[in-house]
Amino acid sequence: MAAAGIKKYGKVLAYVWPLLFVSCSKHKQAFQSDCNIGINYKKVSFTELISHIEKYQHQYIEVSGKYQEGFEQSALYNGKLFADHSNQNALWIDFSQDCPLYIAGTHIGLFTYNNGQFTQIKNQPVTIRGIVDIKDKGHLNQYRATLDRVSFIEL
Q: What is the arithmetic mean of pLDDT over 47-65?
A: 97
Domains of the chain: 30-154 (2.40.50.140)
* pTM score, whole prediction: 0.78
Averaged pLDDT for residues 110-134: 84
Q: Cα angle at 114 between 111 and 116, to 5 degrees?
A: 120
Q: Could you give phi then psi for residue 94, rounded to 5 degrees?
A: -110, 95
Percent of the chain with pLDDT over 70: 79
pLDDT confidence of residue 15:
42
Mean pLDDT of the chain: 84
CB within 8 Å of 45: residues ≥ 6 apart = 63, 64
Check residue 36 and give its pLDDT. 86
